[in-house]
Every structure is written in C-alpha cells, then in structure tokens.
Amino acid sequence: MSAKKNLWLATASALVLFSAAPVMAQNDSNVTVVESDGPAEQAGEAVDNAASATVDAADKAAEKTAEAAGEAAEESAEAADAAADQAEQAADAAGDAMDEATETDTEEVAEGTPVEGQIFEQSADTYLASTLLDATVFNAADEEVGDVNDMIITSDGKIEGVVIGVGGFLGVGEKNVAIELSRLEMTQDEDGDTTFMADLTAEELKAAPEFRTAEDAASESEAAAASASAGSTMTTTTGASTPTN
C-alpha cells in the first residue's frame, strides 16, 4: 500500500514543479515572467486525495477479504466438527448393533427347545441301522443263508443294497455278496429282531461273484498296473543282447 502512495506523491510533486515554471510572455520588445501557483497546488491536492482514497479503498477491500476468509474457515471448521460427530454416532450405533448380535448368539438355549428338522420318535415303519447290521438272512425255505455285514447307501441317503456274508465258519472263509434291497424282504422273528428273507439258496449265494468295494477295485487296479510295469521291465532286460569283445 505504501509503494502506491509514494508513487502518487511523486507524480503530484512533478506536476507542481511543472506548473510553477516561469511563463514567458512577450509584450512589444519586453519579456515578462508570469508565475501561476494556484492551479499547481490544486492539482497536487487532488492527486494526494486520490492516492489517499485509493489506499483507503484497498485497505477496506483487504479487511473485507480477510473477514470473508475467516468466516469461510470458521464455517469449514464447524462442518468438519459436525461430520466428525456424525461419524462418531454411526460408529457407536454399529458397536451397539454388534454387541446385541453377540449377546443374541451367545444367549443360552432353554432346555427342551427343538431344532429344525428334528425327529422326536421313531415311527413304526422305520428301522435303525444298528438293527439291520448283523441281521440274519433266511431263504424261502426258512434256512439261514448268511448275515448282513454292511449296507450300500447312495449319496441321497437311500439304501441301495445289503452286503451278505455267506459260507465259511465263524467268519473264516466267508465272502461278501451284495444284493439289491428290492430282492430282500425285511421281517421280524418271534423275538422282535429284524431279519431278511431272500428268494435265493445258500448254493446260489456261495457261487455268486464276491462283492468288491471301491477301495478294493482301486487297489486291484494299482496292483495290476504295477505287475504289468514289472513284467515289461523284465522282458526288456531278458531280451537285451550281451555285447561281445
């Protein structure tokens, strides 16, 4: 601001000096010097007043700008505080909701509360697997032909068949033969034990191919592959010629 004021003052001084210079007026053969101070002083005052007005206006504009900037900064600070308060309230609400969910999850379940899909009692037309295993298998002539050693169950929980142990004595020399459940009839003896009736003779079951599990089939395939590989190696070794000197 002071630099502008100095510039205006320097300009005013130059105008004063220029206006005060002697004015030459020629009258016949004589030269008369005329001095004029009034207009120069007025011009200097006008320049000085203009400079002062400019400085005052600039100062007022700067003050207004500073005030506006201060108000804007204050409003921004208030908005930031409000946003922080809202974020804190949201965090508190989320924490409360999590606490409630945790309390609900850990809430003790009252004794006797049923769960979805629960079966409360066995119906009369169903069987327990424990009663089917080791069940005796009879033929149509009421002759014992074997015992149930295992059951084949599908991926959807249905019984596809039963594995019957036939032949042997006390489990020695016995082999497993699997029969579809549709070929068997479940009955109960006079003691209430579950039994199976098959329309097959003991000789037919003994002559039938033995049942292989998936694990048995995989083991046999691996053994066959290993045997074939060993035989190929032996043939190559035997057929190799012996170099002569």
Indicate if the pLDDT at residue 3 is higher than 60. no
* Residue numbers of the domain that contains 50: 2-66
- Residue where one domain finishes, among candidates 37, 66, 95: 66
The secondary element (H helix, E strand) that includes residue 130 is helix 129-132
Residue range 115-139, pLDDT digits in tens: 999 999 999 888 888 888 999 999 9
Tokens of 229: 């590989």
139 within domain boundaries:
yes
Count CB atoms within 10 A of the CB of residue 240. Answer: 8
97 pLDDT more than 90: no
242 within some domain: no
Q: Is residue 11 part of a domain?
A: yes
Instruction: List all residues 6 or more positions away from 163 whose beta carbon is below 8 Å from its beta carbon.
Output: 148, 149, 150, 151, 152, 176, 177, 178, 211
- What total number of domains does the chain contain? 2
pTM above 0.75, yes or no: no
Q: Report helix, strand or coil for 73.
A: helix
pLDDT in tens, 73-85: 888 888 888 888 8
Burial tier of 184 (Cβ tally within 10 Å: 0-12, 13-18, 19+): buried
| Domain assignment of residue 97, yes or no | no
**Which 8-state DSSP code applies to residue 141?**
T
CATH number of the structural domain spanning residue 155: 2.30.30.240
Q: Residues 133, 213: one domain?
A: yes
- Residue-wise pLDDT tens digits, 4-50: 555 556 665 555 554 544 444 444 444 444 444 566 677 777 777 87
Residues 206, 135 share a domain: yes
22 alpha-carbon distance from chain centroid: 96
Does 33 reside within a domain?
Answer: yes
Q: Residue 79: inside a domain, yes or no?
A: no
Q: Is residue 96 part of a domain?
A: no
Question: Last residue of some domain: 66, 84, 111?
Answer: 66
State the pLDDT at residue 228.
82
Q: Per-residue pLDDT for 101 more than 70? A: no
Nearest to 162 by CA among 174, 146, 141, 178: 178
Confidence of residue 181 (pLDDT cuts 50, 70, 90): very high
**Cβ 37 vs Cβ 76: under 8 Å:** no
Whether 114 is in a domain gets the answer no
Q: State whether 55 and 134 are in the same domain.
A: no
In angstroms, rounded to a whole number, what is the distance separating the alpha carbons of residues 101 and 106?
9
Residue 177: pLDDT over 60: yes
Mean of all residue pLDDT scores within the chain: 78
